[in-house]
Amino acid sequence: MLSHLTLAHFRNISSATLSPSEGINLILGENGSGKTSILEALHLLAMGRSFRSRHLKNIVQLEYSQFTLFARSSEMTPVGLLYDIQSGLQIRLNNAPLKKLSDLAVNTPLQFISANCHQFFELGPKFRRKMIDWGMFHVEHKFNYHWQTYKKALLQKNAALKNKKSRNETELWNQYLIKHGLIITDYREAYLDKLVSVFEPLFHKLCPSLSDCKFTVKYNKGWSKEKSLAEILDENYERDRIIGYSRNGPHSADWTLRINDASAEEMLSRGQQKLFYLGLCMAQIIILLNEKDVKNTVLLIDDLSSELDWNHQITVIDTLRNLPVQSFITSTNSELASLINTDKEKVFHVKQGEMIAS
């Protein structure tokens, strides 16, 4: 968990310093005041990338050439990030240059819940895969090795297909795709079973009107369940050669949860879809606690009030209080401050890039 955060020349924020609580941190302000920029800074420090912009030069405050971010965890581990338009990005973790981005992710397990998270069902398989792969990265530490090895083999095979290499040369990579792809699939299926068992009672609390509903996992492995991955790769060689890439495998997997064996997307309102996604993220926090005793998870929630009525906002706040998570929540609704216990939680106000703690 973070005990200190400093920003300089980051979007519309010239300079800001926060000393957040270990629990709920509510960030209030009007649209365009800089609330989401605080979440973006936290995301950059934990993931090494922005959720708003692919090009970091767009984040630098106008008339400046660089921005800096610095944070310190409750264990006193420092993380510093500097981006200069000319020299690029530099990241230091625990006073040493960062070797790989995965080290950042291990240091601070962080999830981001956007204002449009109710679009979980519309954002596509890649978005849903990334969600559970985040959980497995932290729970199953061998998962990242298998996933990275699989991706490298897939890149090599796709390059061979695109360049019209011989079948023998192209299919050389199948052995790696099959070996690591099956392990990835086993990890995902086991993790999804855990996720639904933790998610269901949690969602019932978040959305009492659906407390009688039962949830089941629908998982598409990325290839026909009637055949093995080896058979599918062999059968689809000609098609893949024509299109120039390999379509089947865990890189094409998808999943969702069904409610009473019906489509959740069709049954849930927009507000209920937001609670659905919030519940999934909270369930992953609980799994991390149960499986690895991880208590330093950070949860970023942008615009909590969007799509949720007052009673459901209260329920979300109360549920977060009982989880081992440090949360940063933005909203334009100043009435949310009345829900914050100022002894253990904090309220920050942002106005035109300036931050004030209540």
pLDDT in tens, 175-221: 999 999 999 999 999 999 999 999 999 999 999 999 999 999 999 99
The reply to whether 64 and 151 lie within a common domain is no
Q: Note whether residue 19 is domain-resident.
A: yes
Top pLDDT among 86 and 342 is at 86
Domain that holds residue 198: 124-293
Single residue among 274, 293, 312 that ends a domain in this structure: 293
Domain CATH code at residue 136: 1.20.1050.90
Binding annotation for ATP: 29-36
Sign of CA dihedral 106, 287, 38, 117: positive
The reply to whether 254 and 326 lie within a common domain is no
- Overall pTM > 0.85: yes
Q: Note whether residue 116 is domain-resident.
A: no
The reply to whether 86 and 154 lie within a common domain is no
- Say if residue 106's pLDDT is above 80: yes
Single residue among 293, 318, 348 that ends a domain in this structure: 293
pLDDT of residue 300: 98
Q: Contact, 327 vs 23, CB < 8 A?
A: yes
The reply to whether 71 and 209 lie within a common domain is no
- Say if residue 229's pLDDT is above 90: yes
Q: Note whether residue 117 is domain-resident.
A: no
Mean pLDDT over 56-75 rounds to 94
Q: Note whether residue 119 is domain-resident.
A: no
Single residue among 293, 325, 348 that ends a domain in this structure: 293
Mean pLDDT over 267-283 rounds to 96
Q: Which long-range contacts (CB under 8 A, 24 or more apart) does 89-93 make?
A: 89/48, 89/56, 91/48
Q: Note whether residue 8 is domain-resident.
A: yes
pLDDT of residue 210: 95
With cut-offs at 50, 70 and 90, classify the pLDDT of residue 168: very high
Number of folded domains in the chain?
2
- Say if residue 342's pLDDT is above 80: no
The reply to whether 148 and 283 lie within a common domain is yes
Residues ≥6 apart with Cβ < 8 Å to 293: none
The reply to whether 156 and 90 lie within a common domain is no
pLDDT of residue 119: 81
The reply to whether 81 and 215 lie within a common domain is no
Question: Which segments of 174-251 does DSSP mark as H helices, in order?
Answer: 174-206, 229-235, 237-243
Q: Contact, 240 vs 247, CB < 8 A?
A: yes
The two structure tokens encoding residue 152: 């490298």
Domain CATH code at residue 79: 3.40.50.300
With cut-offs at 50, 70 and 90, classify the pLDDT of residue 73: confident
Measure the N-to-C terminal CA separation of the chain; round to a whole number of Å.
21
The reply to whether 208 and 277 lie within a common domain is yes
Tens digits of per-residue pLDDT, 116-141? 888 888 889 999 999 999 999 999 98
Q: Note whether residue 41 is domain-resident.
A: yes
Binding annotation: 29-36
Mean pLDDT over 56-83 rounds to 94
Q: In angstroms, rounded to a whole number, what is the distance separating the alpha carbons of residues 44 and 300?
A: 12
The pairing of strands 96-97 and 110-113 is: unpaired
Residues ≥6 apart with Cβ < 8 Å to 262: none
* CA dist 215 → 123, 199, 276 (Å): 21, 9, 11
The reply to whether 253 and 306 lie within a common domain is no
Q: Note whether residue 68 is domain-resident.
A: yes
The reply to whether 235 and 162 lie within a common domain is yes
The reply to whether 147 and 164 lie within a common domain is yes
pLDDT of residue 331: 97
Tell me the residue type at 249.
G
Q: Note whether residue 269 is domain-resident.
A: yes
The reply to whether 5 and 153 lie within a common domain is no
